Structure 1
């Protein structure tokens, strides 16, 4: 069937005699290079606690020196279902279908800001490769101002320009098909990416639905700035690639990029199915090792607990959920909480488990009565189109089935989102710094939040930070997100059972400005749908519903519709001075102890306005350099 019958795929891609279909090695093969607990050495130079995304990056870099030994301890297992990666005949449908067995079984406490939502989902990966194994593969970065604000919180070396080399070290761009790029004005700047040695591939699919052109044009008619490269200027409107290799159309992630190529190193050991119980400290508060226990064995039985020593450094990469949990179990955290749990206090560090942030997500829904054709529904309503798409995928993994969750969107600054933006910023600054914080926050955490809030108020006042994420992919609905919410939550050890999963309180929408931003988001989408480009599709609002017009109605709808997070949890071991509630310094070493650092997304003091995967790669790459430089 001629490709030009269905817009959005170039004729050059229909034959594709030279397309490489060299699929990755069988995922099961890397099991052979795992170790058992009995095979683990008594000591290593470095112990990496957590074999998720950041843990595999750091282990790769530390083991580059063959004279240094590295142990990675991971609670989850290697996922060897080819469909997770998209290998062989499979499409990487894992982008939109998260498997519960690859996630921790954790829910949040009741959330008053979400109308008392019970058992709100806590998305945290329990699998080798972590979030990069299960996420939607949207590998976008935050705006430069996001990282510059990290640096302004007394963290020299962490501005965007200083992190850029680590973003580039991690990722390389597989160029899009030039005909498709010209047709849809997919622009990029190679200066944002690394070279062929960068482990993670990002690419664009070989097809886009024509309705995207209306959506992009409508955004431009709204005055939203079109960026050439979102990886350098992640605010306004831009195209972004996905974490897939163009050659194989398979997930490019920490396992394929950082672990599989080096798994055979004799100095690198991966132990899965084991939990790190505690970090062990000597009398001088130096971290000397960890206690580990096989998953599913009884707590408190000394026969199943083993200690492994670290000669140089222990790096925590257990994520926003378990990095603070391990610290608290080890006696590093809020003294009152630790005493209540019966844990001897090594260092009173109130910031451990505080400052929790995520992106509350909520949906806008519209029906297009005169939709462009073909469109995403055509896969279900047009048998000829669906057969054409299936044939392309079977022949050379191109066409509509190469799409995942989308490649274009808008990150809207507050002055473009809301006409009353000045009043909103004034309301932020008029709040008492502790008014909406958890009751457990003490003076240093309040001081730290005050510093954060001032930076956010300034960012809210300009055009360099998007307060709303609004992705689109030719469909009439999408999940939007509040990108820089003012509410803060906690991750705290269960005081009745320290080895149970921690108690998570997102505290979502506690600050009234956050649901107001959601209300303004729906109003913005209505104006977008009223642009000439979008009116050509005859949009009809389905949710939240055209009858809801007042702030009160839309805020109430947001509290009912939003979820507490999108799997972007962060910031629970924040990089800041102790006087501002920080847990680590700019060198990522934990305050008050030695021989212990953190190298995952929990060190971010402020959440970035992006899916967090790209940021995790950059943080981990820099963490590895910091560890190597001092040891």
Structure 2
């Protein structure tokens, strides 16, 4: 993970070890009894009303809501297992350097020319609770504009005002303790943004003193200030809560949606199994799935389970399109090459891949305030105090990655007019995947025009800068024009898809990142920051020209931060859409999708809260189709 600094890795590894030890010492049991509520394969029913493919973040939401009706039977099939390690719900588990491989699929990308032919790191969860189990716990939403552009891409009822009720339905907010809020001027808008849902949004018990100076410096350089982002104002600088409960433990799909529903007799969960294909009848109606125990040979015994009402794919950005392609829905040429009978030619399946590429910029504060994040490792007295505080679930160890964000609008970056002109005048086809059809090129041009028309507005951002009082940070590109693919391996259809992020292929992406680094340096050079004496250590003071900065970006950026999406996009079919606005798959019946793969254009936010909103809305849409 080249974009993680050595300092951050050292600190997070220490916190992970301390979190595990203290979690165990504190007597926390990670609901291991819930495993007794699983349904073994030999006890499955022959048919269910609904089959939900994937027991990750979205799948557990959909299953919970569909099984609220005791007269509807629901089966969830999940490839992964439960993770009952107490450390996995501690705040220290939030940083990517601590994510365990056992909770991830063993997948990697092809070499990335835009990263000097390095491989792109692939984050795809393989655990009950999915990405909500192993994410950064930053519980923000995009701006209203982020979702309104979905609607402008031909998806009525998917704008901000339509989704807001689902954001609220999924979340309950707890304000920070008053003393902390006053000291750091933490702001929020509970009435506009939150409801009374299963997932807890909370602020930690601690912030680092240096954070106040960082906020002052942002105001000095003219960065717009917002009360918070969750009410549709996720642009400029703002506060955001973490996905934590009142004890500062991870609040996620497993605890919020699976636990309350797990005792329902009409809800079954099968773990450790892979769904191979969706089966269809002669009228192209989805009728069943074939299921196989994971880590067995491809010719191992399979189970066929029927669905009488609907099959819902919630297998994520990587495996929802994978299952579609194996089932005969996807790009005709690809399926034919793999020897799969083409049921529906859907060129968009497995294309349109997007994530948030990330770059690490490193600084030192030569005159930092005390205490600061390094005090946890460099000051024995402070470290002992922090550990004592954590036995009471208080203090610095309640912190996750951050609660302060900058999502910088393009108009706050240098040279933004030049960037816009380049975006409009370039030959886009030269930067798209070679597998793209003429229809897909047309679709991207429509996306491009929507994005570029949105870029000059102040009410949405293109680059995220995480700040939490530490020197240096991640600069994350939130609105890439580059597009990738996750396509079937035609020589082994059950192997992981061939993943190509195409990171940095579109030169506009690199231009925006160069401008973002310039903005960050201006922030660090502000009058307010002088008391900290910031010194850049990477890429370094000698890296000044655009060409030098681009070389550094290509050498060290990552393809994403675990926000991959958009590989079964919701869009009109003539724009290579895979699902309609009601989330049904084009060309068939009885099959829908309820996960992040349906997103057409990635929002400028950490994607966790958005997944909950999508899944909640998906459940309502499915229910509305099966009232009788």
- Indicate the TM-score class for this superposition, using the shorter chain for normalisation: over 0.9
1:191 deviates by 2.1
Q: For 1:531-566, what per-residue CA distance to the aligned partner results, in whole angstroms no more than 9, with x for missing partners?
A: 111121101011111111111111111111111111
3-state secondary structure, aligned to 1:425: helix
3-state secondary structure, aligned to 1:251: coil
3-state secondary structure, aligned to 2:50: strand
1:113 is aligned to 2:109: no
1:222 deviates by 1.1
3-state secondary structure, aligned to 1:536: helix
CA contact (8 A) 2:93 2:134 kept: no
Question: What is the aligned partner in structure 2 of residue 294 from structure 1?
Answer: 293
1:192 deviates by 3.7
1:450 deviates by 0.8
Q: For 1:21-71, what per-residue CA distance to the aligned partner results, in whole angstroms no more than 9, with x for missing partners?
A: 998764211000001111110000000000000000000000000000000
CA contact (8 A) 2:28 2:86 kept: no
Question: What is the aligned partner in structure 2 of residue 44 from structure 1?
Answer: 48
- TM-score of the aligned structures, taking structure 2 as reference length: 0.94
1:58 is aligned to 2:62: yes
Give me the whole-angstrom Cα distance separating, in 1, the residues matched to 2:224 and 2:177: 24
1:93 deviates by 3.0
| Aligned 1:354-503 pairs, distance under 5 A | 354-394=351-391, 396-418=392-414, 420-503=415-498
Question: What is the aligned partner in structure 2 of residue 168 from structure 1?
Answer: 168
1:158 deviates by 0.4
CA contact (8 A) 1:171 1:193 kept: no
Question: What is the aligned partner in structure 2 of residue 79 from structure 1?
Answer: 83
1:300 deviates by 2.3
Q: Which runs of 5+ in 1 are unaligned?
A: 1-20
Give me the whole-angstrom Cα distance separating, in 2, the residues matched to 1:93 and 1:52: 18
Give me the whole-angstrom Cα distance separating, in 2, the residues matched to 1:200 and 1:130: 15
CA contact (8 A) 1:444 1:578 kept: no
Give me the whole-angstrom Cα distance separating, in 2, the residues matched to 1:548 and 1:421: 21
Question: What is the aligned partner in structure 2 of residue 5 from structure 1?
Answer: none
1:255 is aligned to 2:254: yes
CA contact (8 A) 2:30 2:85 kept: no
Q: For 1:63-111, what per-residue CA distance to the aligned partner results, in whole angstroms no more than 9, with x for missing partners?
A: 000000000000001111121123xxxx643545100110000000011
Q: Relative to 1, partners in 2 of residues 1:452 and 1:24: Cα closer, same or farther, differing over 3 Å?
A: farther
| Aligned 1:15-414 pairs, distance under 5 A | 26-86=30-90, 92-96=92-96, 97-118=98-119, 120-196=120-196, 198-232=197-231, 233-246=233-246, 248-301=247-300, 304-394=301-391, 396-414=392-410
Give me the whole-angstrom Cα distance separating, in 2, the residues matched to 1:324 and 1:582: 12
Which of 561, 570, 590 is the matching residue for 1:566?
A: 561
CA contact (8 A) 2:104 2:127 kept: yes
* RMSD, aligned α-carbons: 1.3
3-state secondary structure, aligned to 1:582: coil
3-state secondary structure, aligned to 1:165: helix
3-state secondary structure, aligned to 1:541: strand
Q: For 1:366-386, what per-residue CA distance to the aligned partner results, in whole angstroms no more than 9, with x for missing partners?
A: 110111111111112222221
CA contact (8 A) 1:27 1:79 kept: no
Question: What is the aligned partner in structure 2 of residue 584 from structure 1?
Answer: 579
Which of 610, 618, 622 is the matching residue for 1:615?
A: 610
3-state secondary structure, aligned to 2:535: strand
CA contact (8 A) 1:27 1:82 kept: no
Q: For 1:408-465, what per-residue CA distance to the aligned partner results, in whole angstroms no more than 9, with x for missing partners?
A: 02010111112x2111101100022312000100022111111110111112111112
Q: How many residues align?
A: 600
Q: For 1:506-540, what per-residue CA distance to the aligned partner results, in whole angstroms no more than 9, with x for missing partners?
A: 00000001111111111111100111111211010
Give me the whole-angstrom Cα distance separating, in 2, the residues matched to 1:35 and 1:373: 53
Q: Relative to 1, partners in 2 of residues 1:465 and 1:195: Cα closer, same or farther, differing over 3 Å?
A: closer
CA contact (8 A) 1:570 1:603 kept: yes
3-state secondary structure, aligned to 1:586: coil
Question: What is the aligned partner in structure 2 of residue 17 from structure 1?
Answer: none
Give me the whole-angstrom Cα distance separating, in 1, the residues matched to 2:80 and 2:580: 29
Q: For 1:342-394, what per-residue CA distance to the aligned partner results, in whole angstroms no more than 9, with x for missing partners?
A: 01000000000000000000011111011111111111222222121111111
Question: What is the aligned partner in structure 1 of residue 501 from structure 2?
Answer: 506
CA contact (8 A) 1:359 1:483 kept: yes
- TM-score of the aligned structures, taking structure 1 as reference length: 0.94
Question: What is the aligned partner in structure 1 of residue 5 from structure 2?
Answer: none
Q: For 1:190-210, what per-residue CA distance to the aligned partner results, in whole angstroms no more than 9, with x for missing partners?
A: 1244444x1000111111111
Give me the whole-angstrom Cα distance separating, in 1, the residues matched to 2:94 and 2:185: 28
Q: Relative to 1, partners in 2 of residues 1:490 and 1:464: Cα closer, same or farther, differing over 3 Å?
A: same
Question: What is the aligned partner in structure 2 of residue 598 from structure 1?
Answer: 593
1:123 deviates by 0.4
Give me the whole-angstrom Cα distance separating, in 2, the residues matched to 1:452 and 1:522: 26
